[in-house]
Structure 1
Amino acid sequence: MTDDGPAAVVDRRIDTLRVLADGPASTPTLVDRVDVSRSTVDRAIHELGALGFVASAPGDNRITTLGRVALAAHDRRSRRLDTLADAAPLFDDVALDVDPAVFDDATLVLAGPRAPHRPVDRVATLVADATHVSVYTARFLGRHARLYHDRVVDAGMTGSFVATDRVIEQVAAARPDDLRDVIDLGRVALRRTGRDDPVTLVLAETPTGPEMGLVVYRDGVPRGFLDNDHPAATRWARAVHERLWTAAAPVDL
Protein backbone atom coordinates (compact mmCIF):
# COMPACT_ATOMS: atom_id res chain seq x y z
CA MET A 1 0.00 0.00 0.00
CA THR A 2 1.30 3.44 -0.95
CA ASP A 3 2.07 5.72 1.97
CA ASP A 4 0.15 8.98 1.51
CA GLY A 5 1.66 10.71 4.55
CA PRO A 6 3.28 14.11 3.88
CA ALA A 7 6.84 12.89 4.48
CA ALA A 8 6.42 9.93 2.15
CA VAL A 9 4.79 12.05 -0.57
CA VAL A 10 7.56 14.65 -0.45
CA ASP A 11 10.22 11.91 -0.56
CA ARG A 12 8.48 10.30 -3.51
CA ARG A 13 7.82 13.52 -5.43
CA ILE A 14 10.90 15.52 -4.50
CA ASP A 15 12.08 15.85 -8.12
CA THR A 16 8.81 17.49 -9.10
CA LEU A 17 9.05 19.93 -6.18
CA ARG A 18 12.61 20.83 -7.15
CA VAL A 19 11.65 21.64 -10.73
CA LEU A 20 8.72 23.80 -9.58
CA ALA A 21 10.96 25.57 -7.07
CA ASP A 22 12.72 27.07 -10.12
CA GLY A 23 9.44 28.50 -11.40
CA PRO A 24 5.97 27.52 -12.70
CA ALA A 25 5.94 24.77 -15.28
CA SER A 26 3.40 23.10 -17.52
CA THR A 27 2.76 19.39 -17.23
CA PRO A 28 4.62 18.62 -20.50
CA THR A 29 7.59 20.62 -19.20
CA LEU A 30 7.56 18.59 -15.99
CA VAL A 31 7.45 15.36 -17.98
CA ASP A 32 10.54 16.49 -19.87
CA ARG A 33 12.49 17.92 -16.91
CA VAL A 34 11.69 15.21 -14.35
CA ASP A 35 12.12 12.60 -17.09
CA VAL A 36 9.09 10.47 -16.16
CA SER A 37 5.83 9.57 -17.82
CA ARG A 38 2.80 11.87 -18.09
CA SER A 39 0.85 9.63 -15.73
CA THR A 40 3.62 9.85 -13.11
CA VAL A 41 3.64 13.65 -13.30
CA ASP A 42 -0.15 13.72 -13.02
CA ARG A 43 0.00 11.58 -9.87
CA ALA A 44 2.77 13.77 -8.44
CA ILE A 45 0.77 16.95 -9.03
CA HIS A 46 -2.33 15.34 -7.53
CA GLU A 47 -0.51 14.12 -4.40
CA LEU A 48 1.37 17.36 -3.83
CA GLY A 49 -1.73 19.40 -4.56
CA ALA A 50 -3.74 17.43 -1.99
CA LEU A 51 -1.16 18.47 0.63
CA GLY A 52 -1.24 22.11 -0.46
CA PHE A 53 2.37 22.04 -1.64
CA VAL A 54 1.55 22.59 -5.32
CA ALA A 55 -1.19 24.65 -6.96
CA SER A 56 -2.38 23.95 -10.49
CA ALA A 57 -4.22 25.90 -13.17
CA PRO A 58 -4.80 25.01 -16.84
CA GLY A 59 -1.38 24.75 -18.43
CA ASP A 60 0.50 25.75 -15.29
CA ASN A 61 1.73 24.22 -12.05
CA ARG A 62 3.51 26.13 -9.31
CA ILE A 63 4.99 25.43 -5.90
CA THR A 64 3.21 27.10 -2.97
CA THR A 65 4.81 28.89 -0.04
CA LEU A 66 4.38 25.83 2.15
CA GLY A 67 5.68 23.69 -0.67
CA ARG A 68 8.95 25.61 -0.48
CA VAL A 69 8.99 25.09 3.28
CA ALA A 70 8.39 21.36 2.76
CA LEU A 71 11.27 21.22 0.25
CA ALA A 72 13.60 22.99 2.69
CA ALA A 73 12.52 20.65 5.51
CA HIS A 74 13.23 17.62 3.31
CA ASP A 75 16.69 18.91 2.43
CA ARG A 76 17.46 19.74 6.06
CA ARG A 77 16.45 16.24 7.12
CA SER A 78 18.61 14.74 4.36
CA ARG A 79 21.63 16.77 5.48
CA ARG A 80 21.00 15.70 9.08
CA LEU A 81 20.90 12.03 8.07
CA ASP A 82 24.11 12.44 6.07
CA THR A 83 25.84 13.99 9.09
CA LEU A 84 24.46 11.28 11.38
CA ALA A 85 25.82 8.57 9.10
CA ASP A 86 29.25 10.22 8.99
CA ALA A 87 29.33 10.73 12.77
CA ALA A 88 27.85 7.36 13.77
CA PRO A 89 31.20 5.54 14.21
CA LEU A 90 32.28 8.21 16.71
CA PHE A 91 29.34 7.83 19.05
CA ASP A 92 29.44 4.14 20.00
CA ASP A 93 30.58 4.88 23.56
CA VAL A 94 28.85 8.25 24.06
CA ALA A 95 25.92 8.05 26.45
CA LEU A 96 24.94 11.72 26.20
CA ASP A 97 21.36 12.14 25.01
CA VAL A 98 22.23 14.14 21.91
CA ASP A 99 19.42 16.25 20.47
CA PRO A 100 18.96 15.61 16.73
CA ALA A 101 19.14 19.39 16.22
CA VAL A 102 22.84 19.19 17.05
CA PHE A 103 23.35 17.56 13.64
CA ASP A 104 21.29 20.07 11.63
CA ASP A 105 23.62 22.02 9.33
CA ALA A 106 26.49 21.06 11.63
CA THR A 107 30.14 21.07 10.60
CA LEU A 108 31.73 17.68 11.21
CA VAL A 109 35.52 17.54 11.24
CA LEU A 110 37.18 14.13 11.39
CA ALA A 111 40.78 13.37 12.26
CA GLY A 112 42.73 11.78 9.44
CA PRO A 113 46.14 10.21 8.92
CA ARG A 114 47.48 13.47 7.50
CA ALA A 115 45.54 15.75 9.86
CA PRO A 116 45.20 13.99 13.23
CA HIS A 117 44.91 17.25 15.15
CA ARG A 118 42.01 18.76 13.22
CA PRO A 119 39.42 18.19 16.01
CA VAL A 120 41.75 19.77 18.57
CA ASP A 121 42.50 22.72 16.30
CA ARG A 122 38.79 23.43 15.92
CA VAL A 123 38.42 23.99 19.66
CA ALA A 124 40.98 26.79 19.44
CA THR A 125 39.00 28.35 16.61
CA LEU A 126 35.76 27.99 18.58
CA VAL A 127 37.03 29.84 21.66
CA ALA A 128 39.20 32.39 19.84
CA ASP A 129 36.66 35.20 20.38
CA ALA A 130 34.78 33.75 23.34
CA THR A 131 34.01 35.91 26.34
CA HIS A 132 32.81 32.91 28.37
CA VAL A 133 32.97 29.14 27.94
CA SER A 134 30.90 26.43 29.57
CA VAL A 135 32.83 23.17 29.36
CA TYR A 136 32.27 19.54 30.28
CA THR A 137 35.21 17.24 29.76
CA ALA A 138 36.15 13.73 30.76
CA ARG A 139 39.39 13.69 28.76
CA PHE A 140 42.56 15.69 29.36
CA LEU A 141 44.54 17.43 26.64
CA GLY A 142 47.45 19.61 27.65
CA ARG A 143 46.91 21.75 24.57
CA HIS A 144 43.37 22.56 25.65
CA ALA A 145 44.43 23.31 29.20
CA ARG A 146 47.01 25.78 27.92
CA LEU A 147 44.47 27.31 25.52
CA TYR A 148 41.91 27.98 28.25
CA HIS A 149 44.57 29.33 30.62
CA ASP A 150 45.90 31.78 28.05
CA ARG A 151 42.45 32.99 27.04
CA VAL A 152 41.49 33.58 30.68
CA VAL A 153 44.72 35.31 31.66
CA ASP A 154 45.42 37.27 28.47
CA ALA A 155 41.94 38.01 27.15
CA GLY A 156 39.81 38.06 30.31
CA MET A 157 37.64 35.15 29.24
CA THR A 158 35.63 33.49 32.02
CA GLY A 159 34.68 29.85 32.27
CA SER A 160 32.55 27.27 34.04
CA PHE A 161 34.22 23.85 33.89
CA VAL A 162 32.80 20.46 34.84
CA ALA A 163 35.48 17.76 34.77
CA THR A 164 36.16 14.28 36.08
CA ASP A 165 38.52 13.73 39.01
CA ARG A 166 41.00 12.19 36.59
CA VAL A 167 41.07 15.30 34.39
CA ILE A 168 41.39 17.63 37.38
CA GLU A 169 44.27 15.56 38.75
CA GLN A 170 45.97 15.53 35.34
CA VAL A 171 45.66 19.30 34.98
CA ALA A 172 46.93 19.85 38.53
CA ALA A 173 49.91 17.57 37.87
CA ALA A 174 50.78 18.89 34.41
CA ARG A 175 50.06 22.60 34.90
CA PRO A 176 49.63 23.28 38.63
CA ASP A 177 50.49 26.99 38.45
CA ASP A 178 48.09 27.56 35.57
CA LEU A 179 45.19 26.04 37.47
CA ARG A 180 45.88 28.17 40.54
CA ASP A 181 46.27 31.29 38.37
CA VAL A 182 42.83 31.10 36.82
CA ILE A 183 41.12 30.11 40.06
CA ASP A 184 42.81 32.95 41.97
CA LEU A 185 41.76 35.44 39.31
CA GLY A 186 38.15 34.58 40.04
CA ARG A 187 37.38 34.10 36.36
CA VAL A 188 37.01 30.32 36.42
CA ALA A 189 34.61 28.11 38.37
CA LEU A 190 35.38 24.40 38.55
CA ARG A 191 33.31 21.40 39.64
CA ARG A 192 33.96 17.67 39.60
CA THR A 193 31.67 15.00 38.17
CA GLY A 194 31.55 11.22 38.26
CA ARG A 195 30.25 11.11 34.71
CA ASP A 196 32.79 9.81 32.21
CA ASP A 197 31.76 10.26 28.59
CA PRO A 198 34.57 10.23 26.02
CA VAL A 199 33.82 13.81 24.99
CA THR A 200 34.61 17.45 25.55
CA LEU A 201 31.57 19.71 25.22
CA VAL A 202 32.23 23.43 24.79
CA LEU A 203 29.62 26.19 24.66
CA ALA A 204 31.33 29.43 23.68
CA GLU A 205 29.65 32.79 24.21
CA THR A 206 30.92 35.13 21.51
CA PRO A 207 30.07 38.68 20.35
CA THR A 208 28.10 37.16 17.47
CA GLY A 209 26.18 34.69 19.66
CA PRO A 210 26.68 31.27 21.23
CA GLU A 211 28.33 28.38 19.42
CA MET A 212 28.80 24.80 20.56
CA GLY A 213 31.49 22.27 19.83
CA LEU A 214 31.71 18.60 20.71
CA VAL A 215 35.01 16.71 20.58
CA VAL A 216 34.56 12.93 20.52
CA TYR A 217 37.40 10.63 21.56
CA ARG A 218 38.07 7.02 20.61
CA ASP A 219 40.70 5.10 22.57
CA GLY A 220 41.68 8.33 24.28
CA VAL A 221 42.40 10.14 21.00
CA PRO A 222 40.30 13.00 19.55
CA ARG A 223 38.67 11.52 16.47
CA GLY A 224 36.03 14.06 15.54
CA PHE A 225 34.61 17.51 16.21
CA LEU A 226 31.01 18.62 15.71
CA ASP A 227 30.41 22.37 15.48
CA ASN A 228 27.06 24.17 15.39
CA ASP A 229 25.74 27.65 16.15
CA HIS A 230 22.06 26.87 15.48
CA PRO A 231 19.91 28.05 18.43
CA ALA A 232 18.46 24.58 19.01
CA ALA A 233 21.97 23.08 19.16
CA THR A 234 23.30 25.71 21.55
CA ARG A 235 20.21 25.35 23.75
CA TRP A 236 20.93 21.63 23.99
CA ALA A 237 24.57 22.28 24.92
CA ARG A 238 23.54 24.84 27.55
CA ALA A 239 20.98 22.48 29.07
CA VAL A 240 23.50 19.60 29.23
CA HIS A 241 26.12 21.78 30.91
CA GLU A 242 23.63 23.23 33.39
CA ARG A 243 22.41 19.74 34.30
CA LEU A 244 25.95 18.45 34.79
CA TRP A 245 26.98 21.59 36.70
CA THR A 246 24.05 21.25 39.10
CA ALA A 247 24.84 17.59 39.79
CA ALA A 248 28.61 18.15 40.15
CA ALA A 249 30.49 18.86 43.38
CA PRO A 250 32.71 21.85 44.21
CA VAL A 251 36.46 21.36 43.94
CA ASP A 252 38.64 22.12 46.93
CA LEU A 253 42.13 22.88 45.61
Structure 2
Amino acid sequence: MADALTVVRRRRRILEYLCEGAAPKRDIVATTDSSRSTVNRAISELSSLGLVERVDGGFRTTTPGRLSLDVVTETSETMRTIRESSDVLSNIPLESCVSHRFLVGADVVTGDSAAPYSGIDDAFDRLRRADRARGFGVADNDPRWTQTLHERATEGSLSVDVAITRPMAKYALDRYDDRAAEYFAADDYRVRVCESLPFGMFLFDVEDRTVAHLLVHDEAGSFIAQVENDRPDAVEWAEARFAERFEAGVPLSEFTE
Protein backbone atom coordinates (compact mmCIF):
# COMPACT_ATOMS: atom_id res chain seq x y z
CA MET A 1 0.00 0.00 0.00
CA ALA A 2 1.13 3.55 -0.70
CA ASP A 3 2.50 5.53 2.23
CA ALA A 4 0.21 7.80 4.22
CA LEU A 5 1.55 11.04 2.69
CA THR A 6 0.90 9.79 -0.83
CA VAL A 7 -2.60 8.62 0.11
CA VAL A 8 -3.51 11.95 1.71
CA ARG A 9 -2.26 13.87 -1.33
CA ARG A 10 -4.18 11.63 -3.71
CA ARG A 11 -7.37 11.58 -1.61
CA ARG A 12 -7.17 15.17 -0.42
CA ARG A 13 -10.46 16.24 -1.98
CA ILE A 14 -12.40 13.46 -0.25
CA LEU A 15 -10.75 14.18 3.10
CA GLU A 16 -11.64 17.86 2.77
CA TYR A 17 -15.25 17.01 2.04
CA LEU A 18 -15.52 14.58 4.97
CA CYS A 19 -14.03 17.20 7.32
CA GLU A 20 -17.28 19.11 6.89
CA GLY A 21 -19.31 16.23 8.28
CA ALA A 22 -20.33 12.62 7.80
CA ALA A 23 -21.51 11.60 4.35
CA PRO A 24 -22.51 8.34 2.61
CA LYS A 25 -20.53 7.11 -0.35
CA ARG A 26 -23.17 8.23 -2.86
CA ASP A 27 -22.79 11.83 -1.66
CA ILE A 28 -19.01 11.58 -1.82
CA VAL A 29 -19.31 10.35 -5.43
CA ALA A 30 -21.62 13.22 -6.38
CA THR A 31 -19.77 15.99 -4.54
CA THR A 32 -16.22 15.07 -5.54
CA ASP A 33 -17.17 14.07 -9.09
CA SER A 34 -15.50 10.69 -8.59
CA SER A 35 -16.55 7.26 -9.73
CA ARG A 36 -18.03 4.78 -7.28
CA SER A 37 -14.99 2.52 -7.62
CA THR A 38 -12.63 5.44 -6.92
CA VAL A 39 -14.53 6.35 -3.78
CA ASN A 40 -14.55 2.72 -2.63
CA ARG A 41 -10.77 2.50 -3.02
CA ALA A 42 -10.26 5.86 -1.35
CA ILE A 43 -12.40 4.98 1.68
CA SER A 44 -10.61 1.65 1.98
CA GLU A 45 -7.18 3.28 1.89
CA LEU A 46 -8.08 6.11 4.25
CA SER A 47 -9.84 3.78 6.70
CA SER A 48 -6.89 1.39 6.84
CA LEU A 49 -4.68 4.33 7.86
CA GLY A 50 -7.16 5.55 10.48
CA LEU A 51 -7.81 8.78 8.58
CA VAL A 52 -11.55 8.26 8.09
CA GLU A 53 -14.06 6.21 10.07
CA ARG A 54 -17.55 4.83 9.62
CA VAL A 55 -20.22 6.63 11.67
CA ASP A 56 -23.96 7.12 11.55
CA GLY A 57 -24.64 8.78 8.23
CA GLY A 58 -21.67 7.31 6.38
CA PHE A 59 -17.99 8.24 6.81
CA ARG A 60 -16.14 11.16 8.29
CA THR A 61 -12.57 12.35 8.70
CA THR A 62 -10.88 11.42 11.99
CA THR A 63 -8.66 13.76 13.99
CA PRO A 64 -5.50 12.11 12.56
CA GLY A 65 -7.06 12.56 9.12
CA ARG A 66 -7.68 16.26 9.66
CA LEU A 67 -4.16 16.77 11.01
CA SER A 68 -2.68 14.89 8.06
CA LEU A 69 -4.74 17.03 5.70
CA ASP A 70 -3.47 20.19 7.41
CA VAL A 71 0.14 19.08 6.86
CA VAL A 72 -0.43 18.37 3.16
CA THR A 73 -2.32 21.64 2.65
CA GLU A 74 0.41 23.63 4.40
CA THR A 75 3.11 21.89 2.39
CA SER A 76 1.29 22.59 -0.86
CA GLU A 77 0.91 26.27 0.02
CA THR A 78 4.56 26.53 0.98
CA MET A 79 5.73 24.83 -2.22
CA ARG A 80 3.56 27.19 -4.25
CA THR A 81 5.12 30.21 -2.53
CA ILE A 82 8.62 28.83 -3.11
CA ARG A 83 7.88 28.09 -6.77
CA GLU A 84 6.29 31.46 -7.48
CA SER A 85 9.02 33.37 -5.63
CA SER A 86 12.08 31.33 -6.58
CA ASP A 87 13.72 34.30 -8.36
CA VAL A 88 13.44 36.34 -5.16
CA LEU A 89 14.37 33.58 -2.73
CA SER A 90 17.46 32.62 -4.73
CA ASN A 91 19.04 35.89 -3.56
CA ILE A 92 18.98 34.68 0.07
CA PRO A 93 22.25 32.86 0.89
CA LEU A 94 21.82 29.14 1.50
CA GLU A 95 23.69 29.36 4.81
CA SER A 96 21.14 31.84 6.17
CA CYS A 97 18.82 28.88 6.84
CA VAL A 98 15.50 30.61 6.24
CA SER A 99 12.81 28.29 7.56
CA HIS A 100 10.10 27.04 5.22
CA ARG A 101 7.74 27.80 8.11
CA PHE A 102 8.26 31.50 7.44
CA LEU A 103 6.90 31.03 3.93
CA VAL A 104 3.58 29.41 4.88
CA GLY A 105 0.89 31.96 4.11
CA ALA A 106 3.50 34.65 3.40
CA ASP A 107 3.04 37.60 1.04
CA VAL A 108 5.96 38.33 -1.27
CA VAL A 109 6.09 41.91 -2.57
CA THR A 110 8.71 42.93 -5.11
CA GLY A 111 9.92 46.42 -5.90
CA ASP A 112 9.22 48.04 -9.24
CA SER A 113 12.17 48.91 -11.46
CA ALA A 114 10.83 52.46 -11.78
CA ALA A 115 10.08 52.69 -8.05
CA PRO A 116 12.44 50.27 -6.27
CA TYR A 117 11.22 51.19 -2.78
CA SER A 118 7.57 50.41 -3.55
CA GLY A 119 8.08 46.85 -2.38
CA ILE A 120 8.83 48.07 1.12
CA ASP A 121 5.80 50.34 1.46
CA ASP A 122 3.91 47.98 3.81
CA ALA A 123 6.90 47.71 6.13
CA PHE A 124 7.40 51.47 6.05
CA ASP A 125 3.75 52.05 6.92
CA ARG A 126 4.09 49.76 9.94
CA LEU A 127 7.28 51.53 10.99
CA ARG A 128 5.31 54.78 11.16
CA ARG A 129 2.58 53.21 13.32
CA ALA A 130 4.48 50.69 15.45
CA ASP A 131 5.08 50.84 19.20
CA ARG A 132 8.10 48.58 18.94
CA ALA A 133 10.54 47.57 16.20
CA ARG A 134 13.21 44.87 16.20
CA GLY A 135 15.37 43.74 13.35
CA PHE A 136 18.46 43.47 11.20
CA GLY A 137 19.71 46.39 9.16
CA VAL A 138 21.99 45.32 6.33
CA ALA A 139 21.53 48.17 3.82
CA ASP A 140 20.41 51.80 3.76
CA ASN A 141 18.25 51.52 0.66
CA ASP A 142 15.42 53.92 1.48
CA PRO A 143 16.14 57.37 3.00
CA ARG A 144 12.58 57.52 4.40
CA TRP A 145 13.27 54.44 6.47
CA THR A 146 16.38 55.71 8.24
CA GLN A 147 14.86 59.15 8.81
CA THR A 148 11.61 57.83 10.26
CA LEU A 149 13.36 55.27 12.45
CA HIS A 150 15.64 57.95 13.84
CA GLU A 151 12.92 60.54 14.44
CA ARG A 152 10.47 58.20 16.12
CA ALA A 153 13.08 56.50 18.30
CA THR A 154 14.79 59.68 19.50
CA GLU A 155 11.48 61.39 20.28
CA GLY A 156 10.47 58.39 22.41
CA SER A 157 7.44 57.21 20.44
CA LEU A 158 9.08 53.97 19.27
CA SER A 159 11.14 51.34 21.08
CA VAL A 160 13.87 50.06 18.77
CA ASP A 161 16.29 47.14 18.99
CA VAL A 162 18.33 46.77 15.81
CA ALA A 163 21.40 44.76 14.85
CA ILE A 164 23.62 45.96 12.01
CA THR A 165 26.78 44.67 10.35
CA ARG A 166 30.19 46.28 10.85
CA PRO A 167 30.19 47.80 7.34
CA MET A 168 26.68 49.12 7.94
CA ALA A 169 27.72 50.58 11.31
CA LYS A 170 30.70 52.36 9.76
CA TYR A 171 28.54 53.66 6.92
CA ALA A 172 25.80 54.88 9.31
CA LEU A 173 28.25 56.66 11.62
CA ASP A 174 29.99 58.33 8.70
CA ARG A 175 26.78 59.44 7.01
CA TYR A 176 24.77 60.30 10.13
CA ASP A 177 27.60 61.47 12.39
CA ASP A 178 25.53 64.43 13.57
CA ARG A 179 22.93 62.04 14.99
CA ALA A 180 25.28 59.66 16.81
CA ALA A 181 24.94 61.43 20.16
CA GLU A 182 21.16 61.15 19.93
CA TYR A 183 21.45 57.43 19.20
CA PHE A 184 23.48 56.89 22.35
CA ALA A 185 21.27 59.11 24.52
CA ALA A 186 17.91 57.57 23.58
CA ASP A 187 16.80 55.05 26.22
CA ASP A 188 14.68 53.01 23.83
CA TYR A 189 17.05 53.04 20.87
CA ARG A 190 19.45 50.11 21.17
CA VAL A 191 21.83 49.36 18.31
CA ARG A 192 24.22 46.39 18.32
CA VAL A 193 26.93 45.59 15.81
CA CYS A 194 27.39 42.03 14.50
CA GLU A 195 30.15 40.45 12.44
CA SER A 196 27.57 39.36 9.85
CA LEU A 197 23.82 39.11 9.38
CA PRO A 198 21.99 36.64 7.14
CA PHE A 199 19.45 39.06 5.64
CA GLY A 200 17.46 42.18 6.41
CA MET A 201 14.50 41.64 8.72
CA PHE A 202 12.18 43.66 10.92
CA LEU A 203 9.40 42.83 13.34
CA PHE A 204 6.83 45.52 14.08
CA ASP A 205 4.37 45.52 16.98
CA VAL A 206 1.30 47.45 15.86
CA GLU A 207 -1.92 47.43 17.88
CA ASP A 208 -1.20 44.11 19.66
CA ARG A 209 -0.21 42.43 16.40
CA THR A 210 3.32 41.52 15.37
CA VAL A 211 4.26 41.34 11.70
CA ALA A 212 7.60 40.05 10.43
CA HIS A 213 9.19 41.42 7.26
CA LEU A 214 12.15 39.63 5.68
CA LEU A 215 13.96 42.02 3.33
CA VAL A 216 15.72 40.50 0.32
CA HIS A 217 18.70 42.22 -1.32
CA ASP A 218 20.88 41.31 -4.28
CA GLU A 219 24.66 40.89 -4.11
CA ALA A 220 25.14 44.63 -4.55
CA GLY A 221 22.91 45.36 -1.54
CA SER A 222 20.00 46.72 -3.58
CA PHE A 223 16.52 45.98 -2.30
CA ILE A 224 14.60 43.39 -4.33
CA ALA A 225 11.57 42.30 -2.33
CA GLN A 226 10.09 41.70 1.07
CA VAL A 227 8.47 38.56 2.46
CA GLU A 228 5.76 39.48 4.97
CA ASN A 229 4.09 37.16 7.48
CA ASP A 230 2.10 37.53 10.70
CA ARG A 231 1.40 33.86 11.39
CA PRO A 232 2.39 33.03 15.01
CA ASP A 233 4.89 30.33 13.99
CA ALA A 234 6.49 32.62 11.39
CA VAL A 235 6.77 35.46 13.93
CA GLU A 236 8.19 33.05 16.51
CA TRP A 237 10.88 31.94 14.07
CA ALA A 238 11.77 35.54 13.21
CA GLU A 239 11.90 36.56 16.88
CA ALA A 240 14.26 33.68 17.67
CA ARG A 241 16.59 34.60 14.80
CA PHE A 242 16.62 38.23 15.90
CA ALA A 243 17.27 37.44 19.57
CA GLU A 244 20.24 35.17 18.92
CA ARG A 245 21.97 37.67 16.61
CA PHE A 246 21.15 40.77 18.68
CA GLU A 247 22.49 39.24 21.87
CA ALA A 248 25.70 38.23 20.08
CA GLY A 249 26.38 41.80 18.94
CA VAL A 250 28.26 44.58 20.72
CA PRO A 251 26.65 47.93 21.58
CA LEU A 252 27.23 50.62 18.98
CA SER A 253 28.91 52.78 21.63
CA GLU A 254 31.61 50.11 22.07
CA PHE A 255 32.10 49.84 18.34
CA THR A 256 33.06 53.51 18.17
CA GLU A 257 35.68 53.24 20.90
Aligned to 1:168: 169
Aligned to 2:251: 250
Does the residue aligned with 2:193 lie in a helix, a strand or coil? strand
Alpha-carbon distance in structure 2 between the residues aligned to 1:165 and 1:59: 66
Aligned to 1:103: 103
- 1:222 is the counterpart of 2:223: yes
- Counterpart residue type for residue 161 of structure 2: S
The structural deviation recorded for 1:236 is: 1.7
Aligned to 1:26: 24
Aligned to 2:60: 62
Q: Deviations over 1:176-207 (max 9, x none)?
A: 3334323222221222222154x311122344
Q: Deviations over 1:41-71 (max 9, x none)?
A: 1110011122332222587222334433333
Contact 2:163 2:192 (C-alpha < 8 Å) held by counterparts: yes
Does the residue aligned with 1:128 lie in a helix, a strand or coil? helix
- 1:72 is the counterpart of 2:73: no
Alpha-carbon distance in structure 1 between the residues aligned to 2:167 and 2:197: 10
- Counterpart residue type for residue 204 of structure 1: F
- Counterpart residue type for residue 236 of structure 2: R
**CA shift in 2, pair 1:202/1:173, >3 Å:** same
Contact 2:22 2:55 (C-alpha < 8 Å) held by counterparts: no
Q: Deviations over 1:72-114 (max 9, x none)?
A: 3322221111122233322334231212221122222122346
Alpha-carbon distance in structure 2 between the residues aligned to 1:37 and 1:96: 48
Aligned to 2:87: 89
**CA shift in 2, pair 1:58/1:149, >3 Å:** closer
> 33, 40, 43: which is aligned to 1:35?
33
TM-score (norm 2): 0.85
The structural deviation recorded for 1:125 is: 2.5
Does the residue aligned with 2:97 lie in a helix, a strand or coil? coil
- Counterpart residue type for residue 241 of structure 1: F
Does the residue aligned with 1:52 lie in a helix, a strand or coil? coil
Alpha-carbon distance in structure 2 between the residues aligned to 1:165 and 1:200: 14
Percent of aligned positions that are identical: 24
Q: Equivalent residues in 2 for 1:161-240 (5 A)?
A: 161-197=162-198, 199-218=199-218, 219-240=220-241
Aligned to 2:125: 125
Does the residue aligned with 1:36 lie in a helix, a strand or coil? coil
Quote the RMSD (CA, aligned, Å). Answer: 2.4
- 1:3 is the counterpart of 2:16: no
Query: Larger deviation: 91-100 or 223-232?
Result: 91-100
The structural deviation recorded for 1:155 is: 5.1
Does the residue aligned with 2:105 lie in a helix, a strand or coil? coil
Alpha-carbon distance in structure 1 between the residues aligned to 2:252 and 2:24: 70
Alpha-carbon distance in structure 1 between the residues aligned to 2:17 and 2:197: 49
